Amino acid sequence: MSQDTNPYHIAIKQLEMAAEKIGLDPNITELLKHPKRVLIVSVPVKMDDGKVKVFTGYRVQHNPWRGAYKGGIRYHPKVDLDEVKALAMWMTWKAAVMDIPYGGAKGGVVCNPKEMSQGELERMTRRYTTMILDEIGPYKDVPAPDVYTNPQVMAWIMDTYSTIKGYAVPEIVTGKPVSIGGSLGRLGATGRGVAICAREACSKLGMSIKDARVAVQGYGNVGYHAAVIAAEMGARLIAASDSKGGVYNPSGIDPVKLREHKQQTGSVLGYPGAEEITNEELLTLDCDILMPCALESVLTEKNAAEVKAKIVSEGANGPTTPQADKIIYEKGILLIPDILANAGGVTVSYFEWVQNLHREQWTEEEVNQKLERKMVKAFNDVYQLAKKENVDMRTAAMILAVQRVAEAFKGLFP
Ligand code: NAD
């Protein structure tokens, strides 16, 4: 039987599994399987050559029971509706696991930002924003960055929204530049959470993160910060990759120099003193901590048995298929699921939103300390539940999240 790697099907399977474990009312399970709203827009953009190109954009709002919708916007040629629906559902669980007052949403535009000029990206972002404007809002739906969107894109969204409203509305998006209301510590927050979870997992396994060998797939925002913060905790980065391939050096790679090399050359490939490896080889490398920080469904039935890491801390959303989950659990690997491991980003997004609503600015130290407390608490909540229920960490995180979301349900309107 061929493996189903459709992220939405996977998200539904994960929900069904958790719902069954807690004996959830089947009517609530049915409600939670479907996003509350799906918006599809055709975004016309005047390209630099004068021709108009129409891009497909999505905004999916999964569930609002615990608070305003919250979720990133992805620019990628392979964005599709099922992917955005899955990502929106995972956001609902993520906010619930972290116990922050948000529901789940996600957006995306099918485009290749690598082939677009800054002007084209700006016009596309501003037009997309106007087309989803009625459905977003500071108390309604608050977008954030995701793959190939960054603080600049968030600034365009805020400026477009504010221009139409007639006053500055920083709380409409998170992940903004600090100069216009972004939070200190936001850029590195997701990676910080991935590293904190890896450190906590090390202590549960009776090992130290000091000198632990780390391999990172996807050396972007999340992967880079996870590597740097793990290195600050004493770990050793031995491999990293991007869409072009990976590099490996068992004696250690300087994470900051590797990023400088990627910024200068466009890839981690060719980093001095390191051997080239494929993305596939990186995933099954002999290491202590594996951090998949690129895209979905990279750990599958085909390669899971070959994973040698003792800990997997999921920086990316949905990097592991359910079949792979089972194999990894049976191998005794401690896998920290995406809805916990990469929730540092949405947590500091929440801090950013709170600061904006109160027109305050917290110090980076304050933000990092609050994040540390939230991550450690959530990790331990999930870990203890996993032990109690004798299940893997993903199932435990899902049980916790689904229970919290279901608890907020007040019944059908009218
Ligand atoms: P990014 O665009 O900064 O980086 C993505 C990296 O992955 C790039 O280095 C790219 O070259 C690499 N990549 C792309 N395709 C690849 C492939 N096939 N194999 C290996 N590497 C590949 O994006 P990001 O913000 O770091 O997001 C990465 C992942 O983390 C995504 O799954 C995203 O949904 C998830 N995530 C991001 C945040 C956040 O705050 N940015 C929060 C939660 C989850």
Q: What is the pLDDT of residues 354-366, one digit of tens each?
A: 999 999 999 999 9
Nearest atom, ligand 1, residue 295 CA: 32
Ligand 1 centroid–CA 352 distance in Å is 21
Cα–Cα distance measured from residue 230 to residue 209, given in angstroms and rounded to the nearest whole number:
8
Residues 199 and 161 in one domain: no
Among candidate residues 341, 369, 398, the one where a domain is terminated: 341
pTM passes above 0.85: yes
Residues 232 and 314 in one domain: yes
Write down the pLDDT at residue 315: 98
Ligand 1 centroid–CA 293 distance in Å is 5
In a domain, 363, yes or no: no
Query: Residue of the nearest CA to atom 31 in ligand 1?
Result: 316
pLDDT band per the 50, 70, 90 thresholds, residue 411: confident
Cα–Cα distance measured from residue 240 to residue 146, given in angstroms and rounded to the nearest whole number:
20
Residues 205 and 139 in one domain: no
Residues 133 and 274 in one domain: no
- pLDDT tens digits, residue range 290-336? 999 998 889 999 999 999 999 999 999 889 998 999 999 999 999 99
Query: Residue of the nearest CA to atom 5 in ligand 1?
Result: 220
Among candidate residues 341, 371, 386, the one where a domain is terminated: 341
pLDDT band per the 50, 70, 90 thresholds, residue 410: confident
Q: What is the CATH number of the domain that holds 285?
A: 3.40.50.720
Percent of residues in the chain assigned helix, strand, coil, to nearest 5: 50, 20, 35
Tell me the two tokens of residue 297.
């469904």
Please choose from 97, 196, 243, 351 the residue to mutate so as to test ligand 1's pocket, defined by most ligand atoms within 8 A of CB: 243
- pLDDT tens digits, residue range 255-281? 999 999 999 999 999 999 999 999 999
Residues 155 and 216 in one domain: no
Residues 249 and 223 in one domain: yes
Write down the pLDDT at residue 361: 96
**For residues 364-380, average pLDDT:** 98
Residues 261 and 167 in one domain: no
* pLDDT higher than threshold 80 for residue 118: yes
Please choose from 183, 293, 340, 375 the residue to mutate so as to test ligand 1's pocket, defined by most ligand atoms within 8 A of CB: 293
Query: Residue of the nearest CA to atom 32 in ligand 1?
Result: 316
Ligand 1 interacting residues, C-beta cut-off 6 A: 145-148, 190, 217-223, 241-243, 279, 293-295, 315-317, 342, 345
* pLDDT higher than threshold 80 for residue 7: yes
DSSP state of 48: T
Query: Residue of the nearest CA to atom 13 in ligand 1?
Result: 243
Residues 273 and 331 in one domain: yes
Nearest atom, ligand 1, residue 219 CA: 9
- pLDDT tens digits, residue range 220-262? 999 999 999 999 999 999 999 999 999 999 999 999 999 999 9
In a domain, 326, yes or no: yes
Residues 277 and 330 in one domain: yes
Ligand 1 centroid–CA 171 distance in Å is 24
Lowest mean pLDDT among 16-25, 35-44, 394-403, 405-414: 405-414
In a domain, 251, yes or no: yes
Contact criterion met (CB below 8 Å) for 109 and 385: no
Contact criterion met (CB below 8 Å) for 14 and 325: no
Query: Residue of the nearest CA to atom 33 in ligand 1?
Result: 316
Query: Residue of the nearest CA to atom 40 in ligand 1?
Result: 345
In a domain, 400, yes or no: no
Ligand 1 centroid–CA 345 distance in Å is 13
pLDDT band per the 50, 70, 90 thresholds, residue 387: very high
Query: Residue of the nearest CA to atom 14 in ligand 1?
Result: 243
Contact criterion met (CB below 8 Å) for 386 and 392: yes
Ligand 1 centroid–CA 294 distance in Å is 4
Q: Tell me how many domains the chain contains.
A: 2
Cα–Cα distance measured from residue 326 to residue 301, given in angstroms and rounded to the nearest whole number:
9
DSSP state of 215: E
Write down the pLDDT at residue 97: 98
Write down the pLDDT at residue 90: 95
Nearest atom, ligand 1, residue 317 CA: 32
Ligand 1 centroid–CA 71 distance in Å is 15
Residues 327 and 202 in one domain: yes
In a domain, 143, yes or no: yes
Write down the pLDDT at residue 1: 39
In a domain, 316, yes or no: yes
In a domain, 252, yes or no: yes
Residues 197 and 334 in one domain: yes
Q: Single out the catalytic residue among 70, 106, 176, 262.
A: 106
Distances (CA, A) of 327 to 5, 37, 165, 399: 16, 35, 51, 20
Could you list the residue range(s) of the whole structural domain that residue 229 is in? 189-341
CA quadruple 8, 14, 20, 22: dihedral positive or negative?
A: negative
Write down the pLDDT at residue 3: 58
Ligand 1 centroid–CA 221 distance in Å is 7
Write down the pLDDT at residue 149: 95
Distances (CA, A) of 302 to 12, 287, 371, 385: 22, 19, 35, 29
Residues 92 and 127 in one domain: yes
Nearest atom, ligand 1, residue 87 CA: 34
Among candidate residues 140, 171, 202, the one where a domain is terminated: 171
Query: Residue of the nearest CA to atom 4 in ligand 1?
Result: 220
In a domain, 181, yes or no: no
Nearest atom, ligand 1, residue 74 CA: 34
Is residue 106 part of the annotated active site? The answer reads yes
Please choose from 194, 216, 242 the residue to mutate so as to test ligand 1's pocket, defined by most ligand atoms within 8 A of CB: 242
Nearest atom, ligand 1, residue 262 CA: 9
